[in-house]
Amino acid sequence: MSQHTLQIHAQAKPEVMERVLRVVRHRGFNLCALNMEQDCQQLRITVTVESCRPIQQLWSQLDKLVDVSRVDSCHAAAPQQRSSLRA
């Protein structure tokens, strides 16, 4: 199993955290660590997950959530970034 850390930027709404955690669970990832910071109207959620599944599967599903504006993958060797442009 490998561990991955994702940083999720989202709107500060009560249901956002629940949706993020539900996607993590439904995609078969184990939650190892969780941190959330709120800055005005934005949330910055940092999750460390563990799974044999490819992280891209979780990454793309989190990126599809309506209130999520950006998902960053923080790998030790090479950080990757995926941004969503929503109107």
Domain boundaries, the chain: 2-83
Mean pLDDT, rounded, for 48-77: 89
Nearest CA to 27 out of 3, 57, 1, 7 is that of 57
Q: Measured between alpha carbons, how far is 6 from 80 in angstroms, rounded to an integer?
A: 10
Domain 2-83 has CATH 3.30.70.260: yes
pLDDT at 85 over 50: no
pTM value is 0.79
Residue 75: band (very low, low, confident or very high) from pLDDT cuts 50, 70, 90: low
Mean pLDDT, rounded, for 34-51: 94
Model confidence over 2-36: pLDDT tens digits? 999 999 999 999 899 999 999 999 999 999 999 99
